[in-house]
Structure 1
């Protein structure tokens, strides 16, 4: 690649002779040339600027001087083979990103026009664009510099390091910040493993390359969410695997079915104010568990009898119940109703898209267990003094399947139940619900037996699964 830079301070660009860029230029990987704009100013003072037309502060760089300089550098009338790009660094340009660098690294020749003062006469880039030259006006950030040289250096370094042969180890490009994955790079460490009281993650010393890769990926996702939520909101769902989505969901971002990008969610403890929305969510999601094998009228009776606002209100008030919800924070479009009526679909409460509940067997002062807790199956055997909890509900809206919310909800409710003293969890899920069984196995549950469960007057056959807290986390 050939790179030309035109500036009134050519010595400013000598920094490019250093390090990898200078080495690449010395080896011929990069053909770098710096030109003095004043060589094309022909008056006694080598003037390159004049006062702005229409008035205003500062000085504007003259189009005739720039035109002569760029005519010498650019192949305007006889374009060379390949792609040639004129780059004008300016704070009013489009933002230069890693994607921009990747695009420009495919060019054959780049010409940087480094302006000063109030900038270059706007007719200069307009003229060359009209002559068939690809012109890019680019900004390296939302701030103003004294001139375009610093910005040109930044862009040249970002572009040149992508060229074959510039970096000693091309694999350095794979996992760095702002790469194709759209994530910031994970934290990096070296020896000593303990320094000033700080230790590295033991996983890095395990030799288990799969675990190391997963840990680093999770760290990269967490760092991106924390430092650059704008990047998290722009992630490509097609590049996210199941573990990525679960990590994202636990950090407040989920990928709805068919969505182009993640959306913000909040996983939190439910309150009594959520009771109506929870009942509505339960009515939508409960049929997913058994609608193929339980008669619709039995499902309807179960929902009308058991999954009602009063149940969720009681759970939210009960210290023996850990009730967690996932709330969608992105605004949802509504349909405007005719005649000024209340728009259909206008939200009247939190937009809940998932929930999970653990009910501990501890009796209250009257000796009663929590409302809605199921009898513990005989196959669930607890040791003396062990606090047992039923993982009664883990449901997400159909629009959020595969979003990562299910494992995130299970992790959140299990962690809270553990903090509240629960040491053994059990659950029942219909024998035909293989999707749920796989999800529970991934969360560390294992089959302990079966049970018969009544759904609206009809018997259902469940697989019973158990997990001791601290396992699978």
Structure 2
């Protein structure tokens, strides 16, 4: 590949004789030539600019000088096999330069002419003309700021595109794992010797020798960094590239991957408010039948909904200090999940008369504090399997800890239908242990439940 950089300060580009770019030129991987725009002038003062048409501050670079320079450089590449010239113009008004653009240029271009503007920029007719005659014109920007000229952006383009050429980088794997690489994430934090520096040690996982654990740690850190610094990149992350552990990590950071979605979406788990009452009741009525056993009649199911899952009952729950109602909200403001928890006073037991596991011991730690009941936990069908349950449960657990923070070891318990293996598996994944059974009445029919419990503080 050949880069022809045109500027009124061609000496600026001596920096490209250094490091990997310089070595790549010596090895014939790429050819970088810098040119003085003034060499194409024909007046004694070597003038390249003039006053802006219509008035205004500053000076504008003349199209006739630029046209002569670009034509000359394009002619020099004619006849080369498979040649394709792209005209790149650094400008604050250009499109952001991305890794995907650099990858495309590295694959498609044989010559890139970089026109470095100064002053108020290059006459707009230059870009318009070359576009009209079939030359791809890339007007690009490094970011939302203004430089004195295009030289710094030209160096950036040469480095970013050049390093993607075959043979440029010693280890091609680094191009996959690095920020903005094929993984679509920012790069994980990196470390080297000494083992401890200024009382900060290298994370032990990196010196454990367990390559699988190390790879997972790095992947999680990359996801964390990207979510925190570049939510725009998270919205473009390819869902097909994410495994179950990725989705679990994303859920802990407020991002979910709905079924059939191309990219993750940001979600919000919060305490329910008065304006949520109707939506929560509607979701409760829609999701309760999914969890009911198949032996329950429709009459019994509808009777339970009519008695326990109405706007009036949720009004009581949301306004009562004894209950905590949490909701999961999608980017459009729709409620797609909810939990309902009963918090007893002091170190009491919620649901003592409903089969609460008063004497259970979980996690080999005796209960020291209240036994909270997770009375209801439902996710809309379209969001199941996306990590929604993990996100909503984590938010619920944090909110419950705020309510019970003075106690050393509070417990959380729930009952779920004995035939609902899907729900039981999900609760086990959330850290619950099976501790007993209970009988629960739905309508006029007895319903056999499995009772689960877990430490509220357990991560």
TM-score normalised according to structure 2 size: 0.87
Cα distance, 1:460–1:209 mapped onto 2, change above 3 Å: farther
Identify the residue that residue 265 of structure 1 maps to in structure 2. Answer: 267
Residue from 136, 139, 142 that aligns with 1:137: 139
Judge which range, 85-94 or 450-459, deviates more. Answer: 450-459
Cα distance, 1:97–1:251 mapped onto 2, change above 3 Å: same
CA deviation map 1:4-50 (0-9, x unaligned): 11112110111111111111112212222212222211222222222
Cα distance, 1:444–1:364 mapped onto 2, change above 3 Å: closer
2: distance between equivalents of 1:449 and 1:205? Answer: 43
Identify the residue that residue 53 of structure 2 maps to in structure 1. Answer: 53
Q: How many residues align structurally?
A: 450
Residue from 412, 428, 432 that aligns with 1:441: 428
Identify the residue that residue 390 of structure 1 maps to in structure 2. Answer: 373
CA contact (8 A) 2:345 2:370 kept: no
Identify the residue that residue 245 of structure 1 maps to in structure 2. Answer: 247
Q: CA deviation at 1:377?
A: 5.5
Judge which range, 442-451 or 63-72, deviates more. Answer: 442-451
User: Is residue 5 of structure 1 aligned with residue 2 of structure 2?
Assistant: no
Identify the residue that residue 205 of structure 2 maps to in structure 1. Answer: 203
2: distance between equivalents of 1:370 and 1:39? Answer: 86
- The correspondence of residues 4-403 of structure 1 with structure 2, limited to 5 A, is 4-75=4-75, 80-106=81-107, 107-271=109-273, 274-290=276-292, 292-316=294-318, 321-328=323-330, 330-331=331-332, 351-360=334-343, 362=344, 370=350, 374-376=354-356, 380=360, 383=366, 385=368, 387-403=370-386
1: distance between equivalents of 2:154 and 2:112? Answer: 11
1: distance between equivalents of 2:312 and 2:166? Answer: 66
Identify the residue that residue 425 of structure 1 maps to in structure 2. Answer: 412
Q: CA deviation at 1:276?
A: 3.6
CA deviation map 1:287-331 (0-9, x unaligned): 221264432222211112122345444444555544432223x34
Residue from 393, 396, 406 that aligns with 1:410: 393
CA contact (8 A) 2:431 2:454 kept: yes
Judge which range, 319-328 or 52-61, deviates more. Answer: 319-328
Identify the residue that residue 341 of structure 1 maps to in structure 2. Answer: none
CA contact (8 A) 1:451 1:462 kept: yes
Q: CA deviation at 1:161?
A: 1.5
Identify the residue that residue 454 of structure 2 maps to in structure 1. Answer: 467
2: distance between equivalents of 1:331 and 1:51? Answer: 50
CA contact (8 A) 2:293 2:419 kept: no
CA contact (8 A) 1:246 1:405 kept: no
Cα distance, 1:223–1:435 mapped onto 2, change above 3 Å: same
2: distance between equivalents of 1:189 and 1:310? Answer: 57
CA contact (8 A) 2:352 2:358 kept: no
CA contact (8 A) 2:351 2:373 kept: no
1: distance between equivalents of 2:346 and 2:352? Answer: 14
Unaligned runs of 5+ in 2: none
2: distance between equivalents of 1:301 and 1:372? Answer: 24
Cα distance, 1:249–1:21 mapped onto 2, change above 3 Å: same
CA contact (8 A) 1:291 1:299 kept: no
